[in-house]
Amino acid sequence: MPQKFTPNLWFDGNAEEAAEFYCSVFPNSRIVGKSHYTESSPGETGTTMTVDFELDGQRFTGINGGPQFKFSEATSFLINCADQEEVDYYWDKLVEGGGETGPCGWLKDRFGLSWQVVPEGMEELFASGDEDRVDRTMKAMLQMGKLDVAELQRAAEGETAKA
């Protein structure tokens, strides 16, 4: 089935660089196509206007729109990770080259785009119906930047943190 929605990401002249970076981070990813500004368009003739790319099968479009708009934390992409190894991989790769780490599994990459890097099963930890379990997990998560899967599980189970 064709993808119904395609996120469009606004860049200030570096959409192609961003697409190449993201394709290097995510498996099964590729640049799909590019369009260029023409004499009639608002950008510099011949420069890249848009770049279409897929990240592990999810289509995106990067637009070289200019400096008018910036990314904010109001929009982020969540990456569900199978285990700590995958959390570590995406966390390290996405902050590489000038990104910023944030709290509770959030980070910004070097282009300013926000990501949430979380282990699979987080929804279950917070929707378990056990208020004490949820509270313990939340307290532990609020102390973390990059999420530590084992520590979150220990907190959920009511075990003391490792020394």
Band (110; pLDDT cuts 50, 70, 90): very high
Average pLDDT, the chain: 94
pTM of the model: 0.92
Question: What would the pLDDT profile of 61-106 be if each residue is shown by its tens digit?
Answer: 999 999 999 999 999 999 999 999 999 999 999 999 999 999 999 9
Band (128; pLDDT cuts 50, 70, 90): confident
Domains and CATH numbers, the chain: 1-69 (3.30.720.100), 71-163 (3.10.180.10)
DSSP readout, the chain? ---S---EEEESS-HHHHHHHHHHHSSS-EEEEEEE--TTSSS-TTSEEEEEEEETTEEEEEEE--TT----TTSEEEEEESSHHHHHHHHHHHHTTT-EE-STTEEE-TTS-EEEEEETTHHHHHSSS-HHHHHHHHHHHHT-SS--HHHHHHHHHTPPPP-
